[in-house]
Structure 1
């Protein structure tokens, strides 16, 4: 039986598949939180080295949580099993929610969102983790 509390609630439905664009510190953290909540997460980056670094970083963080007694090995394995590391944006096609966490460059973000939009469903929620750019400016480039 599925534990409904382990999914992110979105009004009348649950978000099961989360795509995260950008495997830097913010993107990796978002992926960890979503996986901890029970979502299936695909962490995307074009740079395989960055994906490897993100995976090693998650291992280190989870090991520290075990040392502090906040999680056990089974929980660590569950969280890790919920994250896939992908380097093709097409792999995010089944996402219910996609969160972008890349460089603060409007032109780059617009290009990423335009490409993403061509792969995800119309019901996919597309979000940004931007801290300094206008969401309206990014959204204006989309259909």
Structure 2
């Protein structure tokens, strides 16, 4: 799917290579998600299994969204709102997802999850367009 890219950050030994990666040790994990790009938005996102199990059901007209899944599992569904092309995938810790504008997305919690979301553009509530994908992944 052209508007979604998913990359599993590799577990590496220090130092982290230019392409990014995860250093996992007895002290914990260090994940280099991005390097050398100026970001204007950063958010922490928690996906709780005891809350409503779906999160998203929208797309952005201008914003490219980058999400790094720190912990947990999610079922993700993406739909290109221009072509109708759909893709679903199970995301797990270490996945780095880039969602281009006009790509609707929704997540179903499979396991308590934590993520960070980044964007080179500031948050603008007028850029978020509701788009109902819930019936496809709700189960």
TM normalised by structure 1 equals 0.27
TM normalised by structure 2 equals 0.27
Structure possessing the higher relative contact order (Cα contacts under 8 Å, 6 or more residues apart): 2
- Larger proportion of strand: 2
